[in-house]
Amino acid sequence: MKLAVFGANSSTGRHLTEQALAAGHTVTAVVRRPDGFPLSGPQLQTFGADVFDKAAVERAVAGQDAVISILGVPYGRQPVTVLSRGIAHITDAMALHGVKRLVTVTSRLLGAHARRPAGEKPLYERFMYRRVLYPIFTNLGRTLYDDMLRMEQIVRATALDWTIIRPSALFNTNVVSNYHFGPPESPGLYTSRIDLAHSLLREVTDNAHVHSTVSVFTTEGVPTFGDILKKEVMGIGSWDHE
């Protein structure tokens, strides 16, 4: 397939690009600073474009078989419009050029926080995630999540063959695991970036969840609550959020 990847220079985007190239696909990596993109290959085109630039987005989408969007911005207090305006330009460009398949990423924090099945995590960890980290994330990312909601609404209103994937808290590993798909509010607390990348590529080729919003979560080698607490609350440690 010919795939356009928006947000290809994120950690997840680089994993996805590597996996897609290894699987024999042709990838257009759409990034703001093409000179800084670390990957190369005969099946890879690095395309410089800002998603606010409608004409540039149209050029990046032309001739593709599918589009994967991993647009993201850091937490902040200022209003965010990158995701909603970016996806509006992407979906308009897809409609213009007859590209039907879209897979995009938001966050599981947009949905209601589902009860975890008994025994999956210690009770204190389930309580602390719901009562401590969940409010911290949603407060820090309020403007980001507002824009994610607008983005999801735009995607669902299109006539495209779309899938929205909502990962849980992101962390880094080096190997794809036996991750799981589930309903939007499935009880998974963590998603590795390499698993998220694999799920995006798998979805765009298998078309298992067209016109659906699904979660993807990792169950092997996940961080502990202490790892998350150190990184997100105390600012130390190796776990990082994207």
Is the confidence at residue 215, as pLDDT, over 80? Answer: yes
- The amino acid at residue 214 is V
Relative to beta strand 212-217, strand 161-167 is parallel
Percentage, residues of the chain above pLDDT 70: 78
pLDDT for the residue 26: 98
Q: Which of 62, 35, 53, 232 is nearest to 134 (CA)?
A: 232
Question: Are the C-beta atoms of residues 108 and 215 closer than 8 Å to each other?
Answer: yes
pLDDT for the residue 141: 57
* pLDDT tens per residue, range 146-163: 899 999 999 999 999 999
Is the confidence at residue 232, as pLDDT, over 80? Answer: no
pLDDT for the residue 115: 40
Tokens 């996996």 -> residue: 19
* pLDDT tens per residue, range 63-92: 999 999 999 886 667 888 999 999 999 999
pLDDT for the residue 109: 79
Q: Which of 167, 179, 150, 196 is nearest to 109 (CA)?
A: 167
Strand ranges inside 33-121, DSSP E: 44-48, 66-69, 101-105
| Torsion on CA atoms 97, 103, 108, 112, rounded to nearest 10 | 70
